[in-house]
């Protein structure tokens, strides 16, 4: 499985879980999109730093080829899936009364 396939699959799973498993999907809330807009520039900056210095390298055969801030476009999909997944779990556990205590 290529990185592209993994990133697309992860994004689709995160979207499906959010829309169909949670009673109040994050994707339908302005707060999620505001949070994502705040996180995205930092993701792009980090991706650029890691890939432009060859700390992280991608095989051309494993990605589509389109790069944004020096990193494969797939990184945005994967990052989106991670952010949506973590925020969804956080909301779900918070609504169930799970606390750090």
For residue range 18-28, what is the model confidence (pLDDT) as tens digits? 999 998 999 99
Judged against a pLDDT cut of 80, whether residue 101 lies above it is answered with: no
pLDDT value for 1? 78
Residue 37 inside a domain? The answer is: yes
Residue 88 inside a domain? The answer is: yes
Residue 57 inside a domain? The answer is: yes
Residue 101 inside a domain? The answer is: no
Residue 50 inside a domain? The answer is: yes
Q: In total, how many domains does the chain have?
A: 1
pLDDT value for 66? 85
Q: Could you read off the pLDDT of 38-68 as tens digits, one per residue?
A: 999 999 999 999 988 989 888 888 888 888 8
**Mean pLDDT, rounded, of the chain:** 91
pLDDT value for 100? 67
Domain that holds residue 41: 3-95
Cα–Cα distances in angstroms (integers) from residue 39 to residues 12, 13, 47, 69, 83, in the given order: 20, 20, 12, 15, 9
Residue 100 inside a domain? The answer is: no
Q: Is 6 exposed, middle or buried (0-12, 13-18, 19+ CB in 10 A)?
A: middle
Residue 13 inside a domain? The answer is: yes
Q: Are 91 and 29 in contact (CB under 8 A)?
A: no
């Amino acid at each position: 499985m290529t990185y592209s396939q993994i990133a697309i699959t992860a994004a689709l799973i995160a979207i499906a879980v959010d829309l169909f498993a949670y009673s109040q999907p994050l994707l339908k809330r302005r707060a999620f999109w505001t949070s994502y807009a705040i996180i995205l520039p930092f993701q792009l900056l980090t991706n650029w730093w890691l890939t432009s210095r060859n700390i992280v390298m991608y095989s051309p055969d494993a990605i589509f080829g389109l790069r944004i801030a020096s990193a494969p476009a797939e990184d945005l999909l994967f990052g989106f899936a991670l952010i949506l997944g973590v925020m969804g779990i956080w909301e779900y556990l918070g609504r169930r009364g799970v606390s750090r205590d």
